[in-house]
Chain A
């Protein structure tokens, strides 16, 4: 039986059972209610009737009396009426009661009452008839009593009837209570039976269901715990729903088994895929590290070979060499190619080259023999499989990778290699591009820097040029002024020269006269002393003779002195004439030898004159003056030399561009200290003041010699060591032929170009005056416009500026400033207050800037202090610089200095 049928049957039967019980109960209740209703209504009616019988009986008695007693016709008729009515209703009530009450006793009583009533009516009729006949007649009391007695009996019977009815009601009520109790008992019984039935049915159903369910659950549970392998089946053969479930489950188990097989397959595929992706990603993370292709090759071969279980790998990169493309080995893994025989391949050469040419993967299985040998620590292994892959970018092969393995490459490994290789192509290309870009960027950076360096150099050169220009200009200016000055000086000099000439003339004349005047007495003195010293008459004592010789030699000295003074005077006044003519060197030699050999002999000092080889025979100079110098130098040499030698050496030297002749006089005398070597050329100076006594002499000789040497276009040099001797060298130009007729042009060396940096010292005591001076030169006659509405300010500034003779104009507002500017287009600087009525400083500046003529005139904005905003606004409005109030006058002058400064064009 089906589970559904069972449920329907059991639950249905319970429902039917309950319905029957309920209907029965309802019927019973209905019945008892109807019974009760009928009984109570009927009984009530009967009670009512019996009571109305009682009442009407009483009424007829009373009305009869009234009729008999009443006299008025009217009230008699009313009472008659009532009386008739009471009879009728009495009759009705008794008849209906008769009908309703079926009791034997009641019927008996009712029959009795009827008889009584009929008799009463007869009696009453008699009474009434009597009454009607004679009204005045009194009623027969007997008759009346009879009537009244009958009526009394009627009343008794009526009461008995009523009592009977009430008794019956009570009896009925008792009966209905009994039937109710019975009904309740019945309900209990029915319910108990129903309940027992229902429980039994339910139990039976639940048992049958759970049994099968447990069976199914057990099988299903075994499925979850044993997921792998074949699934269990439910073995229920019933035809009910459980049979269907079992069938369905078995079907499901079958499809699940199928599904899981499929899933396993997919999972394996996914794992393989993810391995591939992981490895590719692993390699991809390396890409950013590759700085160059070499690094890529090194790192990649290192990573790739073990990744695919290879044991040997080479990375070839395509490179051009001598216009030929080669695949060159750039990285390898476990390679022992000692002979470098696989270093490079041409495209198409060998399998490597072939791979590049064909652009496809070459896979070699089962390589026979020991073609490739891999050396491990233990021995030599030969790989059996090898794969050669081209690395391409777009369609160009960039590199070739070969990997060999002792085991077979799995399809996923080959797939990995293919994927990686395709990525390498892109990476290699991008590395190449990046390196190219880097190189270009570096080059461009280097170029930029070079450009900057050049521009700075140019700036420096420009600056130098400008400085040079400025200097040249300055020089030009200064040379102009110098020229003028020179002109003046020249004029003055000319004047002076004339005066000088005159005075020199006087001097020369004076000196000539003096020397003449001096010589004349000196001559006589010399001559006379000479005569006396010879002591011709022999009348002088030795002592006297000695005195006379002293007088003579002193006079001689004096004469020399006078001659020297005369020469010096002539030299200094330029009156010493130089008369160049051809001078024979041999003659010079003869002259000095002649002059000084006796002295040498006398002092027992060796004297030699040397003419070095290569000397010209003759040269142009003033022979007399040359001899004078040589004489001077030689006599000095002899003077200071006690023992040893004096040598004159003549040789040719070269000084810068000119050939010179040098006459060196070397002695072995006392020498001259270093510090004295310069002063000995000064007039009246000897090396040592004290020596003058020992050696005598005027001290004029060297200074005259020097002057003369200059006149000859030469000079004298001295070298000396104290105690060892001295060398005086006269250098004179070795003019040949008529060169000397032109006086040597002594180029005046121009004043050094070096800039004279003015020492500017802030703390200088002269600062104030120098500032004043600068300010005056700067500000003098400059037209400056002061725009300020505060007259005190204007006054203060004007006073400060006018001290330097500045041309100050002023305006009290922006508008006025514009007008002033129109009127004075030569204004050079504007001091602009900001807060002004009419038109403020900002507006004024903006307007001024719009005037083409004053677009770049310096405007110094004068603002209240510490108003940063204000300041920026000023600059935006066109101010060139700015100064804050209260104005520091030094700062103002500094600013004006800066902005009035004009570069020299």
Chain B
């Protein structure tokens, strides 16, 4: 019994060492820093890749990753989870529309940072929302993601048609004011969103683990990004977000995220606690 236990522990320890070395190697060689990502997540993704590559150990994967940039690219894609949809969590967008927009209406310019914008669905949703509320012309959305491929897709504004039925529903639930079909054109299996929706959007690559603040924003949307980071990195990113947000600015987090136990938890007040909308007050 004890021997089994210790054996398991040994294996666990070994795997942890392998994992750490892999991340260190990736950082040293490719410059991508995943060392402060949530360990269980990284573990699962790495094993996912190990299986896919038909390997048996992380060390073997390490060799492949270092020797073959294509495998690295695959692993990189594994680490970037792109679960998104237009008007994802419609009540969140509804809250933005009914509670935040009236406050922002008076501003001359609105700067919004969409952190981890993935393939851009939520960015376009935001653009539509701002457009319908008459704020789009004075808004600038900075959509950033770690993955350049994602940004490339986001820039195109072309999405698969199979999500559109859900997106239409979401749009209505989020308080959409027009016909959703006014914004897109169906082309075969895809829909092309109207190019004006990206006119005020800046797509840029940004790595939360390594890059710095690049502007001061009125609102930062960072939904379901931090869940992949460990506590240390979460706190670092919260510092970055805090430094990038003006006083009285809004911070939107994911449905299952919270700010209370982070290092900047006491700098925000709950604006809409259900939709995880916070407002910086000091």
Q: A441-B261, A456-B224, A774-B188 are in contact. Are A449 and B256 (CB under 8 A)?
A: yes
Q: B260 and A898: CB pair below 8 A?
A: no
Question: Could you tell me the distance between the alpha carbons of A453 and B48 in the complex, rounded to whole angstroms?
Answer: 15
A74 within 8 A of B: no
Q: B162 and A903: CB pair below 8 A?
A: yes
Contacting residues, chain B, for A893 (C-beta < 8 A): 186
Name the one of B162, B182, B189, B195 contacting A891, with C-beta atoms under 8 angstroms: B182
Name the one of B41, B165, B181, B185 contacting A883, with C-beta atoms under 8 angstroms: B181
B21-65: which have CB < 8 Å to A? Answer: 38, 40-41, 44-45, 48
Contacting residues, chain A, for B165 (C-beta < 8 A): 880, 898-899, 901
Question: Could you tell me the distance between the alpha carbons of A320 and B179 in the complex, rounded to whole angstroms?
Answer: 66
Considering the complex, give the chain A residue whose CB is closest to the CB of B176.
A871
Considering the complex, give the chain B residue whose CB is closest to the CB of A443.
B261
Q: B256 and A448: CB pair below 8 A?
A: yes
Q: A460 and B181: CB pair below 8 A?
A: no
B4 within 8 A of A: no
A754-786: which have CB < 8 Å to B? Answer: 758, 760, 762, 767, 770-771, 774
A239 within 8 A of B: no
Q: A771 and B187: CB pair below 8 A?
A: yes
A445 within 8 A of B: yes
Name the one of B40, B187, B195, B224 contacting A770, with C-beta atoms under 8 angstroms: B187
A875 within 8 A of B: yes
Question: Could you tell me the distance between the alpha carbons of A880 and B182 in the complex, rounded to whole angstroms?
Answer: 15
B205 within 8 A of A: no
Q: A453-B41, A460-B83, A891-B182 are in contact. Are A901 and B192 (CB under 8 A)?
A: no
Question: Could you tell me the distance between the alpha carbons of A28 and B261 in the complex, rounded to whole angstroms?
Answer: 117
Interface string of B244-266 (1 = CB under 8 A from A): 00000000001111101100000
B227 within 8 A of A: yes
Question: Could you tell me the distance between the alpha carbons of A205 and B81 in the complex, rounded to whole angstroms?
Answer: 114
Considering the complex, give the chain B residue whose CB is closest to the CB of A899.
B165
Interface string of B82-100 (1 = CB under 8 A from A): 1100000000000000000
B219-275: which have CB < 8 Å to A? Answer: 224, 226-228, 231, 254-258, 260-261
Name the one of A438, A452, A901 contacting B224, with C-beta atoms under 8 angstroms: A452
Q: B179 and A884: CB pair below 8 A?
A: yes
A558 within 8 A of B: no
Q: Tell me which of A442, A774, A890, A901 has the highest count of chain B C-beta atoms within 10 A of its own C-beta.
A: A901
Q: A762 and B181: CB pair below 8 A?
A: no
Q: B186 and A897: CB pair below 8 A?
A: yes
Contacting residues, chain A, for B254 (C-beta < 8 A): 452
A450 within 8 A of B: yes
Q: A445 and B260: CB pair below 8 A?
A: yes
A443-479: which have CB < 8 Å to B? Answer: 445-446, 448-454, 456-457, 459-461
Contacting residues, chain A, for B172 (C-beta < 8 A): 875
Question: Could you tell me the distance between the alpha carbons of A760 and B161 in the complex, rounded to whole angstroms?
Answer: 13
Contacting residues, chain B, for A894 (C-beta < 8 A): 181, 184-186, 191
Question: Could you tell me the distance between the alpha carbons of A441 and B260 in the complex, rounded to whole angstroms?
Answer: 10
Q: A449-B227, A882-B179 are in contact. Are A760 and B256 (CB under 8 A)?
A: no
Question: Could you tell me the distance between the alpha carbons of A456 and B44 in the complex, rounded to whole angstroms?
Answer: 13
Distance in Å: Cβ of B151 to nearest Cβ of chain A: 16
Q: A453 and B185: CB pair below 8 A?
A: no
Q: B181 and A452: CB pair below 8 A?
A: no
Distance in Å: Cβ of A886 to nearest Cβ of chain B: 13
Number of A residues whose C-beta is below 8 Å from B? 43
Name the one of B38, B82, B161 contacting A898, with C-beta atoms under 8 angstroms: B161
Distance in Å: Cβ of B206 to nearest Cβ of chain A: 20
Distance in Å: Cβ of A362 to nearest Cβ of chain B: 41
Q: A897 and B161: CB pair below 8 A?
A: yes
Q: B181 and A881: CB pair below 8 A?
A: yes
Considering the complex, give the chain A residue whose CB is closest to the CB of B195.
A762
Q: A445 and B261: CB pair below 8 A?
A: yes
Contacting residues, chain A, for B196 (C-beta < 8 A): none
Contacting residues, chain A, for B182 (C-beta < 8 A): 891
A231 within 8 A of B: no
Question: Could you tell me the distance between the alpha carbons of A442 and B263 in the complex, rounded to whole angstroms?
Answer: 13
Question: Could you tell me the distance between the alpha carbons of A712 and B229 in the complex, rounded to whole angstroms?
Answer: 57
Q: A453 and B227: CB pair below 8 A?
A: yes
A80 within 8 A of B: no
A868 within 8 A of B: yes
B207 within 8 A of A: no
Q: A898 and B186: CB pair below 8 A?
A: yes
Q: A452-B224, A770-B187, A898-B165 are in contact. Are A760 and B180 (CB under 8 A)?
A: no
Q: A442-B261, A450-B40 are in contact. Are A898 and B226 (CB under 8 A)?
A: no
Q: B228 and A453: CB pair below 8 A?
A: yes
Question: Could you tell me the distance between the alpha carbons of A376 and B162 in the complex, rounded to whole angstroms?
Answer: 81
Q: A898 and B188: CB pair below 8 A?
A: no
Considering the complex, give the chain B residue whose CB is closest to the CB of A453.
B227
A895 within 8 A of B: yes
Question: Could you tell me the distance between the alpha carbons of A890 and B161 in the complex, rounded to whole angstroms?
Answer: 16
Contacting residues, chain A, for B185 (C-beta < 8 A): 762, 890, 894
Q: B188 and A445: CB pair below 8 A?
A: no
Question: Could you tell me the distance between the alpha carbons of A448 and B226 in the complex, rounded to whole angstroms?
Answer: 12
Q: B256 and A459: CB pair below 8 A?
A: no
Contacting residues, chain B, for A454 (C-beta < 8 A): 41, 44
Q: B168 and A452: CB pair below 8 A?
A: no
Q: B179 and A456: CB pair below 8 A?
A: no
Contacting residues, chain B, for A453 (C-beta < 8 A): 38, 41, 81, 224, 227-228
Q: B258 and A445: CB pair below 8 A?
A: yes
Contacting residues, chain B, for A441 (C-beta < 8 A): 260-261
User: In the complex, given contacts A760-B190, A894-B184, what are 18 additional A-B residue pairs having Cβ atoms less than 8 angstroms apart?
Assistant: A442-B261, A445-B258, A449-B226, A450-B227, A453-B81, A453-B224, A454-B44, A456-B81, A456-B224, A460-B83, A770-B187, A774-B186, A774-B187, A774-B188, A891-B182, A894-B181, A898-B161, A901-B164
Closest 4 CB pairs of A and B: A897-B186, A456-B83, A449-B227, A894-B186
Q: 14 A-B residue contacts at CB 8 Å?
A: A449-B227, A452-B224, A452-B254, A453-B41, A454-B41, A457-B41, A762-B187, A770-B187, A771-B187, A875-B172, A881-B168, A893-B186, A898-B186, A899-B165
Q: Which residues of chain B have a CB within 8 Å of any CB of chain A?
A: 38, 40-41, 44-45, 48, 81-83, 158, 161-162, 164-165, 168, 172, 177, 179-182, 184-192, 195, 224, 226-228, 231, 254-258, 260-261
